[in-house]
Amino acid sequence: MGELCRKMEADLKRKNYAQKTQRAYLGGARCFAGYHMRPPEQMSREEIIEYLRHLAEAGAGPELIKLRLAGIRFLYAVTLDRPQVVAGIGWPRVPRSLPQVLSPGEVARVLDAVPGLRPRTVLLAAYGTGARISEACALKVEDIDSRRGLVRIHRGKGGKDRYVMLGRGVLEALRTYWKAARPPGPYLFPGRKPGTHLTASAVQNSLRDTLRGLKLAKKVTAHTLRHSFATHLLEAGTDIRVIQELLGHTSIRTTARYTHVSARHIATVTSPVDLLPGRRAARQR
């Protein structure tokens, strides 16, 4: 499906999908075509359902099946302009798990242990602003407004711009990094090739190497810092709608899941046992 792949790739770029999403959708379309060994133009709804059934029987998890289906849906609905083929094919039910969150002490341990000034500064900036690691890597010098105490996240997820706060600790870390690295620009964290920025995968690899030596009981990725940012703000009393804006969430429902992992909020809820007759008096004695 060489020509069709090129057309699908062009459609994904035209609709401004993230690079990671483009790769995933194209991979899903290729796997679907490879399974049936036929061009997608010659297949229909039945072949799609059969492929999804094959994935489930082969042990694929619901998240992978959902991702593959998303690629197939884009292929038919947009690139082939045959939305009726995928209409009504339901999404697999994905278990909703709570995000992993580090305590402030654990965040400090992780950041202090990261070798290399550049990846350590990127991770600190990501935690301090709530930016996705890809957004932090793509920061430009012009995005840092120290006078107003703001950082501009340019074309984040969904192609949207937003502003986040520039805390004193983040600003000091960025100034220390700037004096030591003197990045030539335009990116604050340049990549190996001129005109490119550091990749999220490079930072993830550095973090992964660091975590091997820390032996934390929790499974940690760079995105864990974003979850921790939101939870720590919530525990500090920040309004959840402010957190929604800082994270760039379209729906408040996405942000509301952090209320389920905020230990401080949960701990302050009164147990119904303590409200039973006689229990309140017993606690006061």
**Residues 4 and 79: beta-carbon distance below 8 Å:** yes
| pLDDT tens string 26-64 | 999 999 999 999 999 999 999 999 999 999 999 999 999
| Annotated catalytic residue within 223, 232, 241, 253 | 223
| Annotated catalytic residue within 120, 162, 226, 227 | 226
Does residue 274 surpass a pLDDT of 70? no
Within the chain, strands assigned E span 144-145, 150-153, 162-165
| Annotated catalytic residue within 157, 163, 257, 265 | 157
Percent of the chain with pLDDT over 70: 92
Is 154 among the catalytic positions?
no
Is 140 among the catalytic positions?
no
Domain borders along the chain are 2-86, 104-266
| pLDDT tens string 111-155 | 999 989 999 999 999 999 999 999 999 999 999 999 999 999 987
CA–CA gap between residue 248 and residue 155 (Å, rounded): 11
| Annotated catalytic residue within 132, 162, 197, 227 | 132
Is 223 among the catalytic positions?
yes
Does the domain spanning 2-86 belong to CATH 1.10.760.10? no
Is 147 among the catalytic positions?
no
Is 132 among the catalytic positions?
yes
Is 163 among the catalytic positions?
no
- Which alpha helices (DSSP H) does 75-220 contain, by range? 83-86, 104-113, 117-129, 133-137, 168-181, 200-214
| pLDDT tens string 243-256 | 899 998 888 888 88
What dihedral do alpha carbons 116, 207, 254, 63 form, nearest 10°? 140
CATH architecture of 104-266: Orthogonal Bundle (1.10)
| Annotated catalytic residue within 23, 30, 45, 249 | 249
